[in-house]
Amino acid sequence: MTQNERLTILVDRFKQDSERYRDLPVGDDPAEKRTALRSLMNIRPPRAMDADTLRLQDEYLAERSAEQGVVTVEAIPARDRLSVWQGDITRLAADAIVNAANSSMLGCFQPMHNCIDNCIHTFAGVQLRLECARQMKELRAENGPDYQQPVAVPMLTPGYNLPARHVVHIVGPIVEDAVTAADRRALAACYENTLALCLANGLRTVAFCCISTGVFRFPKEEAAPIAVDTVRAWLDANPGAMDRVIFAVHNDRDRALYEALLRG
């Protein structure tokens, strides 16, 4: 079966799975079909899907991953176990990648939104949202029905169809006006607690996104030194615990910022 044939079937299956969008018109253009499939995946609530559709989805995402190109940790230059890498974090074959999540921990439901939460959930497959929902259900059973994941408390899931073996989901601080001392402590705790979770689970390579610097409004110039200093201090305090920590960035500005900090 070709990738386009898988795509056609998956669009139809996901349309039938959605009561609201069963009659969604989708043309024959592959780009239009890819947009439709991703959008339908993005809005889908966490619930089980039949095994045959999951198999097709997994085959489609595996081929997509091969087309985009998997990037191994070994292919990225390092300086004292630290690296900066610019690109799509969903391509990285690390033990874990870090997702900047929201407190519901269910991913981004906005169709085609380009946030990291949306991208990771899209290319991991619908299994990821279901697993996050399962863990949140357990946490609500323990902590009450209104429980939301606190800032800097990480959640570990499989990576499913991602090259990464696992995903660490973590909620960063939201900056309201000016950055406060509490915001800085919370951001540092995101890095510390993620690394501690990796250590506890035998994960030796991890790629961090730039936590809280998007819609959570933490200025990049303030966030980056906190990230680098915190990771360095944790590695010094835990010798031999990690083989590689990667700061995965999206643009030239962020890359230059992190590279300067690693040289310093």
- What Rg, from alpha-carbon coordinates, does the chain have? 19
Give 187's contacts (C-beta < 8 A, 6+ positions apart): 172, 173, 211, 212, 218, 223, 226, 227, 230
Q: Are 14 and 41 in contact (CB under 8 A)?
A: yes
Q: What is the pLDDT of residues 50-109, one digit of tens each?
A: 999 999 999 999 999 999 999 999 999 999 999 999 999 999 999 999 999 999 999 999
Return the SS3 of 193. helix
pLDDT value at residue 264: 77
Q: How many alpha carbons lie under 13 Å from residue 220 in its C-beta half-sphere?
A: 16
pLDDT value at residue 214: 86
Give 19's contacts (C-beta < 8 A, 6+ positions apart): none
pLDDT value at residue 215: 84
Interatomic CA distance for residues 146 and 152, integer angstroms: 18
Give 160's contacts (C-beta < 8 A, 6+ positions apart): 58, 124, 125, 127, 128
Q: Give me the tens of pLDDT residue by residue for the chain, a chain 264 residues long.
A: 999 999 999 999 999 999 899 999 999 999 999 999 999 999 999 999 999 999 999 999 999 999 999 999 999 999 999 999 999 999 999 999 999 999 999 999 999 999 999 999 999 999 999 999 999 999 999 999 999 999 999 999 999 999 999 999 999 999 998 999 999 999 999 999 999 999 999 999 999 999 999 888 899 999 999 999 999 999 999 999 999 999 999 999 999 999 999 997
Interatomic CA distance for residues 186 and 183, integer angstroms: 5
pTM of the model: 0.96
Long-range contacts of 73-76 (CB under 8 A, 24+ apart): 73/205, 73/243, 73/244, 73/246, 76/244, 76/246
H/E element holding 15? Answer: helix 3-17
- What one-character DSSP code corresponds to residue 215? T
Return the SS3 of 92. strand
